[in-house]
Amino acid sequence: MADSSSNAAPPDPDKSAQPVSPESAVRMLREAMPPGPGGQDTLVHEAPPLLGRTLGQYRILGKIGQGGMGMVFKAEDLALKRLVALKVLWANPLDDPRIAERFIREARCLARLSHPNLLHVYNVGSEGDLRYFAMELLEGRTLAEALRQAPLKVPEALAMAGQLLSALDCVHRQGITHRDVKSGNIMLCDARAVLMDFGLAKEEHTSGLTSEGVVLGTPEYMAPEQADGRPCGPPTDLYSLGVVLFEALTGRVPFMGRSALSIIKQHLDEPPPTLASRLPGIDPRLDRILARCLAKDPKDRFADCPAMAVALLPLCQTPELLQLAGALGAGDTLAMDRNRPLRPTLPLSPGVAGAHASRKWFWLAATFVLVLLLGLVLVRALKRRPFPERGQVVRVESGPHRGQMLRWTFVSQGDDPTAWVHRVESLNPDGTWNAPRTLSHDDFRRTYPHLSLRQSEETVSP
């Protein structure tokens, strides 16, 4: 796992209401960020020798990555006998006490969040001048590393986007804006995409830890309001996610330049390139979705993660997108199992791929037997109780309504299932649902034979 924590702090919306010029933004970026790849800020001292040392209950085994104000190590939890990632702050807090505050705030932000596509924080501690927190150790590679080999295919990119939208929705519901969503902060572990590095995260209604007007972020992924020093919110993260999705599909970010200034100016003033200009033949609906993500005005973007999920749903029906779009009920969260690989799969790191392949056939056989047993239980259960009330969002695969996205509700008119009626809604191209229309059970079966044959398989509890 690579660490990309910034050594700069997030802006305070209350103190940065006045926009700044691109030139001022770049100047402040240079003051707040390391001078180029691998550069060190003046607040960061030479890293102390830590390999082999023990901090609290953690014995440091090796280096994983480093950022502007600290380093991430692979460590052994001596108490619980497990491997962890240990993030250690080595910047001297006497130079700027806000550095330690930001470090602890990152740990607290992560500790508040529980989601399969976010890191888990286990513990926070200090020893002497060193502060650290232990978190989940991930095996894989970052999206940035994967894209150096080849862009993702559309199904892979959309599956990843669904997971990241679900993770960001969890973050936003806690009143947190990530503010540094980028390919280098996304870890691909088997088929699981994990959003990392909350070093720039900003909570609502918290006091600022930076000087007035300081602009923080990564220029290639920075939303216009972030580059301008204005308040950030969920649309800010969705802008950055749009950049990530564009990069995942094409191999390049929308805006590139020789300097941070030229990149920021493009984010502020230039229309983004169309996806079709980099990827001919791409579905125009996906092009429109990315264009909305990259709108200059936050009000012109998707308001939140569920809104973007609804727009993506006609292109890809993953469990995360279905749940965000409201097609699944609050209790239908089996798809969010932390250890379950999702389909379509994401690129494996070379080291992890071999380990998984050796166990592949065993788990396939075990899964097959389990599915058979569950199927028998389900058939017996369905004989004892009525159909659930709400169907999943399903694409019609045959007949005159082929390609249409539908969801429906069963309304009981007695104990006889044949007396039930169906209130059917269809999905418009713009992501909105048409007003429901009522069909009798027989009319429903005649109109949508593909769905009626699979009612018992494709329904979920409300």
Q: Domain ends where: 107, 135, 163? A: 135
pLDDT for 23: 46
Tokens standing for 268?
């502020």
Shared domain for 310 and 440, answered yes or no, is no
Q: Quickly state the pLDDT bin for 358 (edges 50, 70, 90).
A: very low
* Segments forming the whole domain that contains residue 310: 141-336
CA dist., res. 224 & res. 20, Å (int): 11
Q: Is residue 146 located within the same domain as residue 130? A: no
Residue where the block lists tokens 């936003």 = 172
The pLDDT of residue 350: 42
- SS3 state at 290: helix
Read off the pLDDT of residues 201-215 as tens digits, 9 standing for 90 and up.
Answer: 676 655 444 444 455
Beta bridge partners of 193: 188
Q: Is the pLDDT of residue 419 over 50?
A: no
Confidence of residue 108 (pLDDT cuts 50, 70, 90): confident
Q: Which of 230-234, 259-263, 324-328 has the lowest mean pLDDT?
A: 324-328
Please tell me whether residues 64 and 129 are part of one structural domain: yes
**pLDDT higher than threshold 90 for residue 295:** yes
Same domain, 148 and 122: no
Q: Using alpha carbons, list the distances in angstroms from residue 417 to 191, 289, 342.
A: 40, 40, 34
Q: Are 381 and 197 in contact (CB under 8 A)?
A: no
Nearest to 310, CA basis, from 423, 428, 395: 428
pLDDT at 285 over 70: yes
- Using alpha carbons, list the distances in angstroms from residue 109 to 119, 151, 173, 203, 351: 11, 31, 12, 8, 31
pLDDT, position 303: 94
Residues 205, 307 share a domain: yes
In contact, 411 and 386? CB cutoff 8 Å = no
- Could you report the per-residue pLDDT of 390-410, keeping only the tens digit for each? 455 666 656 666 666 776 665
pLDDT at 431: 59
Bigger pLDDT: 419 vs 393? 393
Structure tokens at 57: 């209950």
**In this structure, are 96 and 172 located in the same domain?**
no
Question: Average of pLDDT values for 296-312?
Answer: 96
Mean pLDDT of 308-315: 95
Among 135, 154, 178, the domain-final residue is: 135
Catalytic annotation, pick one of 3, 41, 96, 180: 180
Contact call for residues 310 and 303 (beta carbons, < 8 A) = no
Quote the pLDDT of residue 397.
58
> Residue 190: what pLDDT?
83
Residues facing residue 86 across a β-bridge: 73, 134
**Which DSSP category does 442 fall into?**
H
Q: Is the pLDDT of residue 385 over 50?
A: no
**Cα distance between residue 431 and residue 416, in whole Å:** 35
Of residues 89 and 5, more confidence is placed in: 89
Distance of CA 462 to the CA centre of its chain: 25
Ramachandran class of 36: left when φ > 0, alpha when ψ lies in -120 to 50, beta otherwise: left
Would residue 436 count as lying in a domain?
yes
Closest to 242 (Cα-Cα) out of 228, 221, 257: 221
Residue 4 lies in a domain: no
The mean pLDDT value for 163-190 works out to 93
Reported as a single tens digit per residue, the pLDDT across 21-53 is 444 444 444 444 443 333 333 333 455 678 889
Residue 415 known to be catalytic:
no
Residue 145 has pLDDT above 80, yes or no: yes
Place of tokens 């264009």: 291
Query: Tokens for 164?
Result: 């990241």
User: CB-based burial of residue 104 (10 Å sphere; 0-12 exposed, 13-18 middle, 19+ buried)?
Assistant: middle
What would the pLDDT profile of 67-82 be if each residue is shown by its tens digit?
656 789 999 999 999 9
Residues 204 and 106 in one domain: no
pLDDT (mean) for 277-297: 96
Domain end (from 135, 168, 183): 135
Tell me the β-bridge partners of 177: 202
DSSP 405-418: EEEEEEE-SSS-GG
Give CA–CA dist 276/418, Å, rounded. 48
CA gap 85, 334 in Å, rounded: 27
Looking at the domain assignment, is residue 74 inside a domain?
yes
**pLDDT of amino acid 90:** 67
What is the reported pLDDT for 436?
A: 73
| Count of alpha carbons within 13 angstroms of residue 349, beta-carbon side | 16
- Other residues' Cβ atoms within 10 Å of the Cβ of residue 443: 13
Q: What is the pLDDT of residue 25?
A: 46
- E-assigned strand segments in 190-302: 192-195, 202-203
CATH assignment of the domain containing 294: 1.10.510.10
> What pLDDT, in 10s, does the model give residues 53-64?
999 999 999 998
Q: For residue 403, which of 428, 421, 424 has the smallest C-alpha distance?
A: 428
